[in-house]
Amino acid sequence: MVTTRFAPSPTGRLHVGNIRTALHNWLLAKKQGGRFLLRIDDTDAERSREEYVEAIRADLVWLGLEPDGEERQSARFGHYEAGFAALREAGRIYPCYETAQELELKRKVLLGRGLPPIYDRAALALGEAERAEKEAAGIAPHWRFRLDHDAAIEWDDGIRGPQHFNPAQMSDPVVRRADGSWLYMLPSALDDIEMGVTDVLRGEDHVSNTALQIQMFEAMGAKPPRFAHEALLTGSEGKLSKRLGSLGVADLREAGIEPEALVALLARLGTSLPVEPIAEREVIVESFDLSTFGRAPARFDEAELHRLNAQIVHRLPFARVSHLLPQGMGEAAWEAIRPNLTHINEAADWWRIITGPVEAPAFDEETRAYLTAAADTLAGDGWGEDPWHALTGALKTTTGRKGKALFLPLRQALTGMDHGPDMAQVLPLIGRHEALARLRAAAR
């Protein structure tokens, strides 16, 4: 069974880039009838916050990306110790005693010589006595995974195609700090093995990590997952902005963005498929295909998101939005108002226009006479199924008015606005008594 995972660190709220990663992993799993797992990467006890864990869960639920299972790295330290010990016993993990300053000096020397800043494996040359001497002096080691320089690293990336890395041109990665805390690489690989993760879809900034982790999987006797690395998001100005890096679900919700709009945009951003106002999740799942992903940076434009949100809102049924609407606003009102909305929270403004009171503009004498005639016509005629067209049809015959001169004063008197929803839908909602009162008030 295809199993994917989303692995955020609970050191802050989810932002747009995180959401896109979660969504694509969810879609990849659901397209194959598989499982989507949430892994909370909370090994950093100092920076991790429980409030962020709860926020991550809530954001995924709001987006409709409920995981099929959850793991927390903080509950798996025993697994990491066991994996670490096994790799150390096999000679694939070794202690290093250089300080951060010594490593930085080595790096600068290599760069100054025009050489890549690759760790020189000096720690492997230390004998037992030398290591014991350093530890007796109070120097705690950090630990590196020893790459196999004789085994070329290759995989067929789901987006980038065939990938090739020479491990001899890469530094042995640090997997554990001197204080005993874990870095990302080894715990993540162990988790993927034990959680049965078959597919890892993540940003292209992880490509070199993947190369290193492939050897970790092999050293632990496990088949690596299938990997795919997508282009990162950039802002509309063409680079990753600080704004985009911090734009979170809470900000988007506050701005009136609906989850359907965010999903519709992020699902296809960076692919050859058109971004469309698709509210039906099954359609988005069915069309998801890694072969449509491009290598160029995917541009996220907030203005495009708001335009898409308006298109989505125009399609949402009353049952989906009823709990978000003003008290008393029913399905007929929603269908009348919906085409004029960019965000659902704007419905309250239009509902106030229907329920009143409204303030009509000051009209000239001729227009006031016209509105008096409109009120008399509305009072004399029956209130049928289509009172708006009955009213305007009668007025066109009796006054000779047409077009804007016929319709605009009526809209202004009845709603106080120059534009808005279809008056054929709005007038029945206002009601005959209230409509007469508004017409007569505007004619004074």
Q: Which of 223, 238, 163 is nearest to 193 (CA)?
A: 223
User: Same domain for 96 and 139?
Assistant: yes
User: Same domain for 365 and 438?
Assistant: yes
272-311 in b/e form (b: 16+ CB < 10 A) is eeebebbbebeebbebbebeebeeebbbbbbeebebbbbe
**For residue 357, is the peptide bond before it cis, meaning its omega torsion is within 30 degrees of 0?**
yes
Q: How many residues does the chain have?
A: 444
320 with 255: CB under 8 angstroms?
no
Q: Which two tokens stand for residue 153?
A: 């690293």
Give dist(CA 219, CA 213) in Å, integer: 10
Q: What are 200's strand-pairing partners?
A: 227
Looking at residue 221, its pLDDT comes to 97
Give dist(CA 176, CA 276) in Å, integer: 46
Residue 202: φ, ψ to 5°: -150, 180
Which segments within 85-171 are labelled E, that is strand?
93-96, 142-145, 153-157, 161-165
Q: What is the mean pLDDT of residues 160-176?
A: 97
Q: Which of 427, 336, 434, 429 is nearest to 390 (CA)?
A: 427
Residue 338: φ, ψ to 5°: -45, -45
350 found inside a domain: yes
391 with 414: CB under 8 angstroms?
no
User: Same domain for 345 and 390?
Assistant: no
Is the pLDDT assigned to residue 364 strictly greater than 90? yes
253 found inside a domain: yes
157 found inside a domain: no
Is the pLDDT assigned to residue 141 strictly greater than 80? yes
User: Same domain for 118 and 145?
Assistant: yes
Give dist(CA 289, CA 69) in Å, integer: 24
Q: Which two tokens stand for residue 8?
A: 């955020």
Q: Which of 92, 247, 88 is nearest to 167 (CA)?
A: 92
Span 54-65, pLDDT tens digits: 999 999 999 999
Looking at residue 382, its pLDDT comes to 73
Which segments within 180-336 are labelled E, that is strand?
199-203, 226-230, 233-235, 298-300
Give the three-state DSSP class for 353. Answer: helix
User: Same domain for 125 and 194?
Assistant: no
Q: At 120, which CATH number?
A: 3.90.800.10
70 with 5: CB under 8 angstroms?
no
User: Same domain for 192 and 67?
Assistant: yes
Domain extent for 242: 235-313
| CA distances for 184 relative to 80, 107, 188, 190, angstroms | 11, 22, 6, 10
Give dist(CA 59, CA 287) in Å, integer: 24
Residue linked to tokens 């699902």: 267
Span 169-214, pLDDT tens digits: 999 999 999 999 999 999 999 999 999 999 999 999 999 999 999 9
Looking at residue 205, its pLDDT comes to 93
User: Same domain for 360 and 432?
Assistant: yes
142 found inside a domain: yes
User: Which residues make Cβ contacts (< 8 Å) with residue 236, sequence separation at least 6?
Assistant: 299, 300, 301, 302, 303, 304
Span 372-428, pLDDT tens digits: 999 999 998 778 899 999 999 999 999 999 999 999 999 999 999 999 999 999 999
The reply to whether the predicted model has a pTM over 0.85 is: yes
Q: Which of 314, 250, 303 is nearest to 277 (CA)?
A: 314
Instruction: Indicate the number of domains in the chain.
Output: 5
Last residue of a domain, one of 313, 339, 365: 313
Q: At 293, which CATH number?
A: 1.10.1160.10
User: Same domain for 266 and 411?
Assistant: no
402 found inside a domain: yes
405 found inside a domain: yes
Give dist(CA 372, CA 147) in Å, integer: 89
Q: What percent of the chain has pLDDT over 70?
A: 98
Looking at residue 240, its pLDDT comes to 55
User: Same domain for 362 and 279?
Assistant: no
User: Same domain for 201 and 113?
Assistant: no
Give dist(CA 61, CA 342) in Å, integer: 23
Q: Which of 360, 340, 355, 375 is nearest to 429 (CA)?
A: 355
281: enclosing H helix or E strand: helix 281-287
Q: How confident is the model at residue 315 (pLDDT cuts 50, 70, 90)?
A: very high
Q: At 190, which CATH number?
A: 3.40.50.620
Q: What are 298's strand-pairing partners?
A: 233
Q: What is the mean pLDDT of residues 65-86?
A: 97
35 found inside a domain: yes
Is the pLDDT assigned to residue 27 strictly greater than 90? yes
User: Same domain for 86 and 166?
Assistant: yes
HSE at residue 25, side-chain half, CA atoms within 13 A, is 32
User: Same domain for 248 and 308?
Assistant: yes
